[in-house]
């Protein structure tokens, strides 16, 4: 009886794993299709029907995974921001000056090397405004973004521990605004028009920050 029970348990576990693998495969296929549709049409121009058609499923099949296109879009951004935070924190190693530079480079290189994720993170839809997401989802995603920004903010604080909190926040915003400006110039092709290189510009902004804050 014990042998029969163990065999039944093994069969049940194998079946459960197959079901989970199939579930994960379908979800990955839906997400890939959604990214393509969102990039092409923005969140406002996309529809679950178009995403389902791109993925090769019926619209009804998508509801087993996502209740709306907004939830699907938010899930894509949630995953992207988690990868961004990993990249930033991976660069934040060593003494404060080196860690700050590494964290900023992690932020820059992640979006430099993944321009489609930058497009999605900017809510591509008739401009750069956060359109189409509910206030709740928008707040959640902004909090996720803070995870990556905190890694940079922490290194700035270690570099200049006596700096007042308000001044530290201004330096953080100034540095990130500069990097985002370079990203947007590179992303839209304006950087080539200006004859500059993104890597060099980011390094310049890092050097300016270090010069302003290092003892």
Residue 128, helix vs strand vs coil: coil
* Domain spanning 1-66: CATH superfamily: Homeodomain-like (1.10.10.60)
Residue 200, helix vs strand vs coil: helix
pTM above 0.85, yes or no: no
Calpha distance 195→214 (Å, rounded) = 30
Instruction: Say if 1-66 and 69-215 have the same CATH topology.
Output: no
Q: Report the top-level CATH class of 69-215.
A: mainly alpha
Residue 4 has pLDDT above 70, yes or no: no
Return the minimum-mean-pLDDT range out of 15-19, 41-45, 65-69, 108-112: 15-19
Residue 47 has pLDDT above 80, yes or no: yes
More confident: 44 or 72: 72
More confident: 190 or 131: 190
DSSP character string of 6-30: HHHHHHHHHHHHHHHHHHHHHHHHH
**Structure-block tokens of residue 138:** 């928008």
| C-alpha distances out from residue 161 to 100, 157, 170, 214, Å | 14, 5, 15, 10
pLDDT in tens, 84-130: 999 999 999 999 999 999 999 999 999 999 999 888 887 633 344 44
Q: What is the domain partition of the chain in residue ranges?
A: 1-66, 69-215
């Amino acid at each position: 009886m014990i042998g029969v029970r163990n065999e039944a348990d093994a069969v049940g576990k194998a079946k459960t794993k197959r079901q989970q693998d199939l579930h994960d495969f379908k979800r990955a296929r839906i997400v890939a299709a959604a990214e393509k549709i969102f990039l092409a049409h923005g969140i406002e121009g996309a529809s679950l029907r178009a995403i389902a058609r791109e993925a090769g499923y019926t619209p009804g099949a998508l509801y087993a995974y996502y209740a709306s296109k907004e939830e699907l879009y938010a899930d894509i951004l949630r995953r992207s921001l988690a990868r961004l935070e990993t990249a930033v924190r991976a660069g934040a190693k060593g003494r404060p000056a080196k860690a700050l530079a590494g964290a900023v480079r992690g932020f820059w290189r992640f979006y430099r090397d993944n321009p489609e994720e930058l497009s999605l993170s900017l809510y591509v839809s008739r401009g750069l405004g956060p359109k189409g997401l509910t206030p709740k989802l928008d707040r959640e995603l902004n909090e996720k973004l803070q995870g990556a920004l905190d890694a940079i903010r922490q290194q700035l604080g270690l570099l200049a521990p006596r700096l007042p909190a308000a001044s530290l926040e201004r330096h953080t915003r100034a540095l990130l605004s500069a990097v985002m400006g370079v990203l947007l110039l590179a992303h839209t092709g304006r950087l080539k028009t200006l004859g500059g290189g993104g890597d060099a510009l980011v390094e310049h902004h890092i050097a300016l920050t270090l010069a302003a804050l290092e003892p």
